[in-house]
């Protein structure tokens, strides 16, 4: 059974930091790109970041470049998203995703093979 289990969400003040984790199981982790989408209330789903375990390339949305860092631990089948200098507009449910393609495809939600259930990040002003 494929599972993507997110953790690390919570409430933080603007300017603060959080680290999200996505623990993957049920598929060959090293062949997939693992990433994050987010969806704020009343807004469309947005690709945030992604890392290819096979090719090593990384994608970041312009809105998070310089503030978020994605990393993969292949020994633990886990991907981390470190989020610094958080802003109220980062408030959203963050979903872990997996795609059997390189990171350049990570911004297209309809191509994702697997989705987690999400973790809520709330940034207060």
Residue 39 buriedness (CB in 10 A; 0-12 / 13-18 / 19+)? middle
**Residues found in the chain:** 125
pLDDT digit string, tens, across residues 12-32? 999 999 999 999 999 999 999
pLDDT digit string, tens, across residues 107-121? 999 999 999 999 999
The DSSP secondary structure of 67-108, one letter per residue, reads TEEEEEETTTTEEEEEE-S--GGG-EEEEEEEESS-GGGTT-
Q: Of 18, 26, 24, whose CA–CA distance to 1 is shortest?
A: 26
């Amino acid at each position: 059974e494929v599972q993507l289990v997110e953790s690390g969400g919570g409430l933080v003040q603007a300017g603060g930091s959080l680290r999200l984790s996505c623990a993957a199981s049920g598929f060959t982790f090293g062949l997939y790109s693992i990433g994050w989408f987010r969806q704020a209330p009343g807004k469309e789903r947005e690709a945030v970041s992604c890392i290819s375990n096979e090719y090593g390339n990384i994608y970041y949305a312009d809105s998070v470049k310089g503030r978020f860092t994605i990393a993969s631990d292949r020994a633990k089948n886990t991907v981390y998203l470190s989020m610094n200098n958080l802003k109220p507009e980062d408030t959203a449910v963050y979903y872990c995703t997996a795609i059997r393609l390189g990171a350049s495809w990570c911004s297209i939600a309809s191509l994702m093979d697997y989705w987690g259930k999400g973790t809520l990040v709330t940034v207060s002003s």
